[in-house]
Amino acid sequence: MAVLTEPRDAIVIAGGGIAGLSLALALKQALGSGFSIVVADPALAAAARADNRAYAVAAAAQAMLRALGIWDGIAATAQPMTEMIVSDSRSGDVVRPVFLTFDGEVEPRQPFAHMIGSAALIAALTGACRTAGVVMRDEGVRRFESGDAGVTVTLSGGEELPARLLVAADGARSKLREQAGIGWVGWDYGQSGLVATIGHERPHGGRAVEHFLPSGPFAILPLSDGGRFGHRSSIVWTERAANLPALLSLDDDDMLAEIERRFGLELGEIALESPVSAHPLGFGVARRFVGERLALLGDAAHLIHPIAGQGLNLGLKDVAALAETIVDAARLGLDPGTADVLEGYERARRFDTVAMGAVTDGLNRLFSNDVTPIRLARDLGLGLIDRLPGLKRFFIREAAGVSGAPPRLMKGEVL
């Protein structure tokens, strides 16, 4: 193994999204002045990034954010999930039978997830990174050249940064993954996820709802109070891509009517609190998670369907595993960019990522159709699961990220 010989070394993270910023903060807090941690992303130039998406932050990811000192500052805007119900119906059905319910606690008084807005989370992470001393560059990474001694990262403005390691957190269409020659196995679902914040008259009580409809799942996810009616939820509406142009051409009143058909009347009158945005859905996984002096993080390594709400949490597991790998190596005086160190990260994340991808792919294919025999079989299966408390508890612990042996940050331990 290569040993560090310079008193100060650099790690460059290409991508200032939630995963990239979380890794930067974890590394800076653990390694201090011994390492320069650089985040490079053109989006950092924006004072505030407009994003109407909200994420289900699982219990293990919440523990990590608390260990990083982030959670207390955003807890007031986070909405705990106290219950989840699953129904299977058509959008025109008057009655939507509930086939499966989950208690939202993974442990007493510990919700398995909290809903929090993307913009609030990114703002908190950005502020914490700046305070900790992370170098924030509002430029992209144009290219890199790796060798035994390190990696030279060229920013979009032409400046060259020598580093021990480059982390590609630049999304599912990662240019850095492509430059490294790392293959990608994936496919498009022919679906898009329509996302919006909805105001409603009645309180949601922390309940999350997943309606399985023929074109895909329609999720109603509880948000903290606010808005026109005092109560809000986020919707993630999966729709066939062929229907998208007609839907996105609707005016606000007609769009709201389409949402109401799927949303239902249980929470009273509803209103749009944000524009509806569309995000193409697909599956993909990189053939390798590491290259020479390169580690893939988050969507650059994998992309899954949002049907189980695990995309962000999968990326934060990457963060926890990579941070632990880098910090442990650096504290032993080893070079964290060498192949033998990075292979530990790949071993830690490969199986979990492929397994979660297979689960979400299978669920989407099972529920995004209107074939009567399949509907009957899946509804029978949901009903059986609902009658098996032990199996339901297993699923909740898996969704919360607390089963098995998670990385130390995911257990709330400081690196």
357 domain residue, yes or no: yes
From its phi and psi, is residue 264 left (phi > 0), alpha (psi between -120 and 50) or beta? Answer: left
Question: Domain containing 145: what range?
Answer: 9-49+118-186+282-367
Residue 40 domain flag: yes
Q: Is residue 69 part of a domain?
A: no
pLDDT of residue 92: 59
CA distance 262 to 253: 15
Beta-carbon contacts of 388 under 8 Å, excluding residues fewer than 6 positions away, are none
Which positions ≥6 away from 101 have C-beta within 8 Å?
83, 84, 85, 86, 386
Is 318 within a domain? yes
In the beta sheet, which residues pair with residue 66?
A: none
Q: pLDDT (tens digit, 9 = 90+) per residue, 65-84?
A: 999 999 999 999 999 999 98
Cβ atoms 284, 186 nearer than 8 A = yes
Q: What is the pLDDT along the chain (415 residues), one digit of tens a residue?
A: 454 444 358 999 999 999 999 999 999 999 999 899 999 999 998 755 667 789 999 999 999 999 999 999 999 999 999 998 888 776 655 456 677 888 877 877 789 899 999 999 999 999 999 999 999 999 999 999 999 889 999 999 999 999 999 999 999 999 999 999 999 999 999 999 999 999 999 999 999 999 888 888 899 999 999 999 999 999 999 999 999 999 999 999 999 999 999 998 899 999 999 999 999 999 999 999 999 999 999 999 999 998 878 899 999 999 999 999 999 999 999 999 999 999 999 999 999 999 999 988 888 888 777 677 777 777 777 777 777 777 778 777 888 888 778 899 999 999 9
The Cα 370–Cα 224 span in angstroms is: 34
How confident is the model over 221-255, as pLDDT tens digits? Answer: 999 999 999 999 999 999 999 999 999 999 999 99
Per the CB < 8 A criterion, the answer to whether 192 and 279 are in contact is yes
Please report, for the domain that includes residue 182, its CATH number. Answer: 3.50.50.60
Burial of 108 (0-12, 13-18, 19+ CB in 10 A): exposed
Torsion angle, CA of 284/350/238/399, rounded to 10 degrees?
Answer: 180
Q: Phi first, then psi: what are they for 317, rounded to 5°?
A: -65, -40
103: β partners: 83
Does residue 74 lie in a domain region?
no
Tally of domains within the chain: 1
Instruction: With respect to residue 293, please indicate whether it lies within any of the assigned structural domains.
Output: yes
